[in-house]
């Protein structure tokens, strides 16, 4: 199965380390998850999606990595994910829209699941420039209001990426 080039570009931006513990929100059919698993050695990926159908497709695609214990798949909405209070080095979402409207609960869950020095990556396939100018400030504001600090904003080819992390106690 081919993986869209822009998904590969997004995964590159994660700068994965072999022992990272990663959460993917809205993994769909598992295209990015395959690339993440290829890069992990001692680390682990949890990939969740609220759609049973998408998780079924991801299960097929990720079979060797599931058998190797490198990835776990969960059918759940982010908003109700408990994940046994796991903590992640990096959390990412590609083309998932729950961080725009009614963002409070989804971002509170991300904050709870992220290590204090962890990073949260939100990716979108780059829409028309005018639309991005309109949308990006909303996303930044939602993150800041949810106690994240914006670390980086990258546009590379068709990929828009916003990287944030939990605010430190000093309130930087
Ligand atoms: C546009 S698709 C993107 C799929 C995949 N990330 C990709 O880029 O190919 C959005 C996916 O996010 C899932 N999704 C949307 N909101 C979600 C939420 N709040 N919790 C869990 N999954 C969600 C949908 O079920 C869908 O599979």
**Residue 64 tokens, joined:** 């060797």
Could you give the CA distance from residue 47 to residue 29 in angstroms, rounded to a whole number?
Answer: 10
Name the domain count of the chain. Answer: 1
CATH of the domain at 129: 3.40.50.150
In this prediction, residue 24 carries a pLDDT of 98
* 172 domain residue, yes or no: no
Report the distance separating Cα 79 and Cα 110, nearest Å. 9
In the prediction, which pLDDT does 90 show?
98
Q: At what angle do helices 31-39 and 52-61 cross, to 10 degrees?
A: 40
- pTM exceeds 0.85: yes
Distance CA 96, CA 26 (A): 6
> Is position 106 within any domain?
yes
Any domain includes 171: no
State residue 63's pLDDT score.
Answer: 98
What is the distance in A from the centroid of ligand 1 to the CA of 134?
Answer: 22
Q: Which of 96, 98, 106, 107 gets mutated to test ligand 1 (max ligand atoms within 8 A of its CB)?
A: 96
- Assess if residue 28 is contained within a domain: yes
In a domain, 153, yes or no: yes
Atom of ligand 1 nearest to the CA of 54: 27
pLDDT in tens, 89-106: 999 999 999 999 899 999
Residue 98 is part of which domain span?
5-166
From the CA of 93, how far away is ligand 1's center (Å)?
8
* Residue 110 placed within a domain: yes
> Is residue 79's pLDDT more than 90?
yes
For residue range 121-171, list pLDDT tens digits in order.
Answer: 999 988 777 888 888 999 999 999 999 999 999 988 889 999 999 997 665
pLDDT at 23: 98
User: Residue 129: what pLDDT?
Assistant: 77
Ligand 1 pocket test: which of 50, 93, 126 has the largest number of ligand atoms within 8 Å of its C-beta? 50
Distance 168 CA to ligand 1 centre (A): 29
Q: Over the stretch 29-48, which tens digit does the pLDDT of each residue have? A: 999 999 999 999 999 999 99
Q: What is the pLDDT of residue 171?
A: 53
């Amino acid at each position: 199965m081919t993986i869209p080039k822009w998904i590969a570009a997004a995964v590159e931006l994660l700068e994965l380390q072999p022992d990272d513990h990663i959460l993917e929100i809205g993994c769909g059919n598992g295209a990015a998850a395959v690339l993440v698993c290829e890069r992990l050695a001692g680390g682990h990926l949890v990939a969740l999606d609220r759609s049973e159908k998408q998780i079924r497709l991801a299960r097929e695609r990720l079979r060797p990595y599931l058998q190797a214990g490198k990835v776990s798949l969960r059918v759940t909405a982010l908003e109700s994910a408990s994940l046994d209070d796991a903590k992640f080095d990096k959390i990412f979402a590609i083309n998932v829209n729950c961080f725009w409207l009614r963002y409070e609960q989804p971002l509170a869950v991300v904050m709870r699941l992220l290590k204090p020095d962890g990073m949260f990556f939100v990716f979108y396939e780059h829409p028309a420039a005018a639309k991005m100018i309109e949308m990006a400030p909303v996303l930044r504001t939602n993150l800041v209001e949810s106690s994240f600090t914006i670390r980086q904003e990258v546009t590379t080819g068709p990929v828009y990426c916003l990287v944030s992390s939990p605010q430190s106690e000093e309130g930087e």
